[in-house]
A and B are shown apart, each in its own frame.
Chain A
Amino acid sequence: MSEKIKFTIDGVEIEATAGQTIMQAADEAGIYIPRLCAHKDLLPFGSCRVCTVMVNDRPQAACTQPVSPGMNVESETEELRQIRVNLVEMLFVEGNHYCPFCEKSGNCELQALGYRLGMLAPKYPYMFNKHDIDASHPDIYIDHNRCILCARCIRSSKELDGKNVFQFVGRGIHKRVAFNSDTDLAATDVSVTDKAIENCPVGAILKKRTAYAVPIGKRKYDSQPIGSDIEALRAEVK
């Protein structure tokens, strides 16, 4: 039915289906390319740039770039690792991320990626920008301090929930997620069961009264690095 395409990632030959992105093909082959805004259930977005790879020596986002026959993709190079660390550090200093007492700690993709990429303290100065919180909703708590502007909530609400609860407003460093209401989150039609709530990669959107249902130490990334699930496939593919 679909045309098969062969290309290489870091010298490993991969077979992909025409129309797939580099990231989709890599995931299926059990090769993990770091990412934050990308999510398997959502359309590619390309905002965090953490999945930047070199395609025939040109930088491209693996999450939005389609595969083509014979392309030479480089991902695990020192140069790209450094760029990815820089991007993750940028997100850390842009927001106010307090890992030690964040409810999401251990389940947070930003934190987990920081660990995986070998990030220590950011070399960039913290911006300490002021951000709002919204606790108006009975079941949902929003803390813009921890938002990384990945748009997963915006996209999930549209693509998966059939709603339009969130959208970006402002531009540049003043860009932020706003709600479809004239007051607060409680005035929207959001529900705690929405995928938009579940798909937040960080501690920006939290379900109230669930913070420590799973204790710290037993969380998703406490025992294995982010991306391990994808890499586990590699053993099978091999």
Chain B
Amino acid sequence: MTENFEKAIREICSGNADDRTRMIDIVREVQQLFGQISGSAMDIIADAVNSHRVEVESVVSFYSFLSEKPKGKFVIRLCNDVIDKMQGVGKVAKAFQEELGINFGESTPDGKFTLEWTPCIGMCDQAPAALVNDKMMTRLSSDSAREIVKSLKENEDEYRLIHMLGDGNNANPLVNSMVSNNIREKGPVIFAKFEAGKAIHKALSMSPVEVIRDIKTARLRGRGGAGFPTGMKWEFTRGAEGDNKVVICNADEGEPGTFKDRTILTEKPDLMFEGMAIAGYAIGAKTGVLYLRGEYAYLRPFLENVLADRRNKKLLGISILGKTGFDFDIRIQMGAGAYICGEETALISSCEGLRGDPKNRPPFPAQKGYLTLPTSVNNVETFCCVAQILDKGAGWFAEMGSTGSTGTKLLSISGDCTRPGVYELPFGTTVAEMLVKAGAEDAYAVQMGGPSGQLIGEADFHRKICYDDVATGGAVMVFNNDRNPLEIAHEFMEFFCEESCGYCTPCRVGNELLKERLQVIINGKGTPDDLDYLEQLGKTISVASRCGLGQTSANPVLTSLKNFRGDYEKLVKENKDGMQRTFDIHKALATGEDLQGRKSVIYAE
């Protein structure tokens, strides 16, 4: 047994060339095989890849899909983001608990089941949703939750849970999922017709510098949210020292409310991969990596097949389309449950087999990125734009949208609306126009750009969706009059606290403090001073944090405070007796009273 255990782990390591930079793959495989990465497994891995046990432990403890303690054969991860809560995940949760006889965070005594909460899994348009191992379960009810447990107990096979297939490629045997695309509006860029190979063919008839010039002429900006000019990023990467360069596609969309890349990965992977190959040609890279979020593992076999197909068609590999000297291939790197890995330097850390800690900048990835090689990290949607720009022309692209924001933007809309789903809209569309399309005319508050964006109210609905006005990575959550902006903000603070890597003080500690004081106010114990406290604390977090996550993590509080101040003011009250309202003398005395075995006489109830 022990011998076999060691042999199996060493085989996994050697299957990954005993390469410690492939640590995420190694520990994922060990997790899958044994349901845990035990201390003894860590010792064996450390020995095999010439690392240290504590380094392996450091990685394992970072990612939520990895675990030192044993997990059940079936891990049920129920999504608890704000949209799922609005759609009744509470009842689903109760059904799972009752059927399994365990609480969240626990495993059944027979080792069959583990029940966990998980942040957004990219299914807000079909919430409540859960993952059963790699399988995506959508539109759950308490009944379907009971069915799932019953089926797993009877058949012990998560594949048999899929009895209704989704539309489009979701029904492809390699995807085999019940996920619906929910593509509500197709635009001229992402969801337009595209013939694989056409754009790369055109690109190869130009010089790499000309390709970059085209991207610049199209004024393409990154679709992940930050909006950095893509052509400039490529130019920096191309110009950096070193012959070996890297293109990474960031498919780690984890911002609560985001699911746009899911539809591209399902329906337009050729377009995305073609954009990556064009990037490879333009910057002079041989290596491409698709960083796929762990939650989308159900798409991996399908995507691997698309890659294989492209290799057969000479659209990937050695001498692409017969062009001598242009060698480029793509591998898929799976994530393992960590929102921070969507931050480009954290993503690079993760690709290198490390904790998903962001890196210090400078050096920027364009100078020193993946394994110190010059690296360009771009969003899934950005690569799709690239391929279409090459195919249809920079002028065609630049004519769409507005001056500073050309082209279209994919939005994933969910929440209190009748038509949740993915919309491809030209930049410059107003928030109000978008809300009409989504069937959300009675919106009270709209979260633009996910929790790291801003919560806006009616006064801002006339504004335009573009980089220079209401910027967004694409997550839009709609809330009607029944929702409380403070509670929404609190949900998002929970999320950031959960997902902070903990590297820097303001993000690690500050967000916990913001969440705490927000809860005090929600509980009706806040004073007017607390609003100033939130602002000052939020500002410190924004200014002093090390990466984009921390710099935007106070936004749920700061933007709701700005745009829904009335909702805060309703809850805070002047403190007339001068006693600290947050201080509960009975609670403070409880431990002492327990130890002494008697109650305080002075502070009797």
Contacts of B133 in A (CB 8 A): none
A236 at the interface (CB under 8 A from B): no
A164 touches B546 (CB 8 A): no
Interface assignment of A96: CB less than 8 Å from any CB of chain B: no
Measured between beta carbons, the chain B residues less than 8 angstroms from A164 are 52, 54-55
Question: Measured between alpha carbons, how far is A233 from B198 in the docked complex, in Å?
Answer: 66
Which of A45, A172, A178: most chain B CB closer than 10 A?
A172
Q: Is A108 positioned at the interface, with any CB of B under 8 Å from its CB? A: no
Kindly identify, within residues 329 to 372 of chain B, every residue whose CB is under 8 Å from any CB belonging to chain A: 338, 340, 355, 360, 362
Is B441 at the interface (CB under 8 A from chain A)? no
Report the bound CA distance from A50 to B543 in whole Å: 11
**Given A47-B503, A64-B360, A180-B53, are A93 and B62 also a contact pair (CB < 8 Å)?**
no
CB-contact partner of B61 in A91, A94, A171, under 8 A: A171
Q: For the complex, give the distance between the alpha carbons of A149 and B362 in Å.
A: 22
Contact with A along B237-265 (1 / 0, CB 8 A): 00000000000000000000000000000
Query: Given A52-B543, A123-B533, A169-B54 in contact, is the A90-B501 Cβ separation under 8 Å?
Result: no
* Given A49-B505, A91-B509, A172-B502: A86 touches B54 (CB 8 Å cut-off): no
A167–B57 touching, CB < 8 Å: yes
Minimum CB–CB distance from A201 to chain B (whole Å) comes to: 13
Q: A125-B516, A164-B52, A178-B58 are in contact. Are A171 and B502 (CB under 8 A)?
A: yes
User: Is A181 close to B, CB under 8 A?
Assistant: yes
A82, A91, A94, A179 — most chain B CB neighbours (10 Å): A94
- Give chain B residues whose Cβ lies under 8 Å from the Cβ of A209: none
- Minimum CB–CB distance from A151 to chain B (whole Å) comes to 9
Across the interface, which residues of B come within 8 angstroms of A170, CB to CB?
A: 61-62, 502
Contact indicator per residue, chain B 52-83, by CB within 8 Å of chain A (1) or not (0) = 11110110011000000000000000000000
CB proximity of B254 to chain A, nearest CB, Å:
14
Asked whether, in the complex, the Cβ of A173 is within 8 Å of the Cβ of B53, the reply is no
Smallest Cβ distance from A103 to chain B, in angstroms? 24
**Does B267 make an interface contact (CB < 8 A)?**
no
Decide if A167 touches B54 in the complex (CB within 8 Å): yes
Whether A172 contacts B504 by the Cβ 8 Å rule is no
B7–chain A nearest beta-carbon distance, Å: 21
CB contacts (< 8 Å) of A66 on chain B: these are 362
Bound complex: CA of A184 vs CA of B219, how far in Å?
56
Shortest CB-to-CB span from A74 to chain B, Å, is 12
Fill in one digit per residue for B569-593: 1 if any A CB lies within 8 Å of its CB, else 0.
Answer: 0000000000000100000000000
- Neighbouring A residues of B39 by C-beta, 8 Å: 182
Say yes or no: A149 contacts B58, CB within 8 Å: no
Q: Which residues of A contact B338 (CB under 8 A)?
A: 171
Please tell me if the beta carbons of B505 and A87 are within 8 angstroms of each other in the complex.
yes
Q: Please judge, given known A-B contacts A178-B54, A178-B57, A178-B58, whether A48 and B505 are in contact too, CB under 8 Å.
A: yes
Interface string of A38-70 (1 = CB under 8 A from B): 000000111111101000000101001110000
Asked if B540 lies at the interface with its beta carbon under 8 angstroms from chain A, I say yes
Known: A49-B506, A164-B54. Contact between A124 and B513, CB under 8 A?
A: yes
* A190: min CB distance to chain B, Å: 12
Q: Could you tell me the dominant secondary structure of chain B's interface residues?
A: helix
B499 is an interface residue with CB less than 8 A from chain A = yes
Interface presence of B43 (CB below 8 A): yes
B500 interface residue (CB < 8 Å to A): yes
When the two chains form the complex, which single residue of A46, A59, A125, A179 contacts B543, counting CB atoms closer than 8 Å? A59
Say yes or no: B509 contacts A90, CB within 8 Å: yes
B17 touches A (CB below 8 Å): no
Interface string of A10-22 (1 = CB under 8 A from B): 0000000000000
Q: CB-CB < 8 A to B505: which residues of A?
A: 47-50, 87, 90-91, 94, 148-149
Shortest Cβ distance from residue B153 to the other chain A in the assembled complex, whole angstroms: 33
Chain A residue nearest in CB terms to B361: A64
B545 part of interface (Cβ distance < 8 Å): yes
Separation of A127 and B500 alpha carbons in the complex (Å): 17
A49 touches B544 (CB 8 A): yes
Report the nearest A residue to B64, measured CB to CB: A171
Q: Please measure, in the bound complex, the distance between the C-alpha atom of A175 and the C-alpha atom of B501, giving whole angstroms.
A: 8
Q: How many whole Å from B519's CB to the nearest CB in chain A?
A: 11
User: What's the nearest-Cβ distance from chain B to residue A209, in Å?
Assistant: 27
Question: 8 Å CB contacts to A: which residues of B496-531?
Answer: 497-506, 508-510, 512-513, 516
CB atoms of A168 and B540 under 8 A apart: no
A47-B546, A87-B544, A124-B513 as given contacts; A169 in contact with B61, CB under 8 Å: yes
B600: chain A residues at CB < 8 Å are none
A119-141 interface bits toward B, Cβ cutoff 8 Å, 1 = contact, 0 = none: 00001110100000000000000
B151 within 8 A of A: no
Does chain B have a CB within 8 A of A218?
no
Cβ of A238 within 8 Å of any chain B Cβ, yes or no, is no
Of the listed residues A49, A164, A168, A174, the one surrounded by the most CB atoms of chain B closer than 10 A to its CB is A49
Chain B 282-294 interface mask (CB, 8 Å, partner A; 1/0)? 0000000000000
In chain B, what residue has the closest Cβ to A148? Answer: B505
Q: Are B536 and A86 in contact (CB under 8 A)?
A: yes
CB–CB B362/A172 < 8 A: no
User: Do B43 and A182 have beta carbons less than 8 Å apart?
Assistant: yes
In the complex, the chain B residue whose C-beta lies closest to that of A80 is: B543
Cβ-based interface call for A83 (8 A) = yes
Judge whether A32 is part of the interface by a CB distance below 8 angstroms: no
Q: Is there an interface contact between A83 and B543, defined as CB atoms closer than 8 Å?
A: yes
A171 touches B536 (CB 8 A): no
Least CB distance from A149 to B in Å reads: 7
Q: Does B537 contact A (CB under 8 A)?
A: yes
Which residues does chain A contribute within 8 Å of B582, judged by CB atoms? 125
Additional 16 contacts, C-beta under 8 A, given A46-B360, A82-B536, A168-B355? A47-B504, A61-B546, A83-B539, A87-B505, A93-B513, A94-B505, A166-B54, A168-B502, A170-B61, A171-B501, A172-B500, A172-B508, A175-B501, A175-B503, A175-B508, A182-B53
Q: Measuring CB to CB, which residues of chain B are less than 8 angstroms from any residue of chain A?
A: 39, 43, 52-55, 57-58, 61-62, 338, 340, 355, 360, 362, 497-506, 508-510, 512-513, 516, 533, 536-537, 539-540, 543-546, 582
For the complex of A and B, the 8 pairs showing the least CB-CB separation, nearest first, are: A175-B502, A180-B54, A90-B509, A169-B61, A167-B54, A49-B544, A172-B500, A86-B540
CB<8 Å pairs between A and B, sample of 5:
A46-B360, A47-B504, A91-B505, A171-B500, A172-B497
